[in-house]
Structure 1
């Protein structure tokens, strides 16, 4: 891929709040996200082929949460869920860039845009065993708070059988 096409690919990524009308599309994207995460968390779908979806419900209805859709041109490219908007620390709860839109800084551009929409203290959890996520989120932190971020291990609540997650912490200015 040439440098020009990489720039073009990332330049047309858009982030917008997901509306109630977008929820069916977000629910389908959620299945892709949970499928990807099952590699690291061991979750299997229910008999009807779905995964637990409490976070989708919370993203659309719970105080302090916000769902976003990521688009590239006229196509869906992923979603982001943020929680903690009503408290002192915002958390990137869930983030997906569909495989066809990965690379070319599409995810980086989208993640940084979500962070900038909510200045303040941020935390981002992800699985240590997911090498792509480790590199990606470290890049997001460095782009958002150059030299001003930290990373620590924390146990996964209610899941003692899983290895600890990594949590990035930093502040995004206005």
Structure 2
């Protein structure tokens, strides 16, 4: 099994639990994340300019959830929300790297750090209509689990009008 914390060259990347005092920063990063995701499916913001944000609240308040802040040096570079921490399978519910930090290995190093914090079974969803996400998540699965990962399509709960999400599954060892 590969060492999840091994580093490649590139910017200094750190992942730490997001504290309540980080919530305004996470909320701003969330807005960028949802804006990025709005393009493939043609989603427009709410009348006040916001996007759905119930997962931000859940990440900070719900049992079994954990919010993480990704940084490059002292600057925020992204976020990760993990759920299912009290069950047999952890879910990387949301993962985002700001555009200025992409294509430099930041996302791969950050996701390795998140996964290493919670050994066990993992599932990660992405959309096939987002080609960069398809390539990124398949690369993560290969680098973390070798050939021991699966991918399947699952319907989006309560959204029959949307195409199914792709889900990858693998295990992370201690």
- Fold agreement, TM-score > 0.5: yes
Specify the alignment match of 2:63 in structure 1: 63
Say which structure, 1 or 2, has more relative contact order (CA 8 Å, 6+ apart): 2
TM-score by length of 1: 0.93
Structure 2 portions without partners, runs of 5+:
1-7
CA distance in 2, matches of 1:166, 1:70: 24
CA distance in 1, matches of 2:26, 2:70: 10
Specify the alignment match of 1:3 in structure 2: none
CA distance in 2, matches of 1:18, 1:81: 10
Specify the alignment match of 1:76 in structure 2: 76
Cα contact 2:90–2:123 (8 A) shared by 1: yes
Q: Does 1:154 align with 2:126?
A: no
Specify the alignment match of 1:23 in structure 2: 23
Q: 1:162 to 1:62 in 2, by over 3 A?
A: same
C-alpha distance after superposition, 1:93-126 (max 9, x if no partner): 0010000000111100001110110000000000
Larger deviation, residues 33-42 vs 50-59: 33-42
The alpha carbon displacement at 1:82 in A equals 0.3
Mapping of 1:80-99 within 5 angstroms?
A: 80-99=80-99
Mapping of 1:121-132 within 5 angstroms?
A: 121-132=121-132
SS in 2 for 1:67: strand
The alpha carbon displacement at 1:143 in A equals 1.2
Specify the alignment match of 1:38 in structure 2: 38
The alpha carbon displacement at 1:42 in A equals 3.3
Specify the alignment match of 1:143 in structure 2: 143
Runs of 4+ in 1 over 4 A off after TM superposition: none
Structure 1 portions without partners, runs of 5+:
1-5
CA distance in 2, matches of 1:66, 1:40: 27
SS in 1 for 2:114: helix
CA distance in 1, matches of 2:26, 2:103: 21
Specify the alignment match of 2:172 in structure 1: 172
The alpha carbon displacement at 1:52 in A equals 1.1
TM-score by length of 2: 0.93
Please state which structure has a larger fraction of its residues in helix: 1
